[in-house]
């Protein structure tokens, strides 16, 4: 019964929500949306290129490059309000932060040896 309460509560709260602008976006309007897109592209690309999947530094670098490219593209076309009014170097920094978020800060710290590796890793 408790599990059912947790499953159906978000459904009840999600009802009758209208998009105020009337336009449904495709996910690049927010920081988290771009992180999700970068993460999706990286995981699907890593399946095709086994070297990226095995090498942690390559995965992190790929994530940062993909995020910077997408951030600059979104900024250029003014699709995201959180990038509006920024200069190019600020968008590049946002891209690096998006790339690090997409590959996970834990993986970044673990790859540089800043976190203690447990036995199950």
Q: Name the domain count of the chain.
A: 1
Residue 1 forms part of a structural domain: no
Domain of residue 62: give its range: 31-110
In a domain, residue 97? The reply is: yes
pLDDT digits (tens, 9 = 90+) for 20-77: 555 556 677 888 888 888 888 888 888 888 888 788 788 889 999 999 999 999 999 8
Classify residue 29 by burial, with Cβ atoms within 10 Å: 0-12, 13-18, 19+: middle
pTM: 0.68
Tell whether 6 is covered by a domain.
Answer: no
Residue 118 in domain = no
Beta strands in the chain (DSSP E): none
**Do the domain assignments include residue 74?**
yes
Is the residue at 87 inside a domain?
Answer: yes
């Amino acid at each position: 019964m408790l599990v059912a309460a947790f499953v159906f509560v978000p459904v009840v709260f999600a009802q009758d929500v209208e998009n105020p602008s009337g336009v449904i976006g495709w996910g690049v309007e927010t920081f988290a949306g771009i992180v999700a897109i970068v993460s999706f592209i990286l995981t699907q690309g890593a399946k095709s290129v086994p070297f990226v999947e095995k090498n942690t530094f390559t995965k992190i670098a790929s994530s940062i490059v993909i995020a910077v490219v997408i951030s600059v593209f979104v900024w250029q076309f003014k699709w995201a309000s959180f990038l509006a009014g920024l200069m190019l170097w600020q968008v590049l920094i946002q891209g690096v932060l998006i790339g690090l978020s997409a590959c996970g800060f834990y993986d970044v710290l673990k790859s540089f040896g800043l976190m203690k590796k447990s036995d199950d890793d």
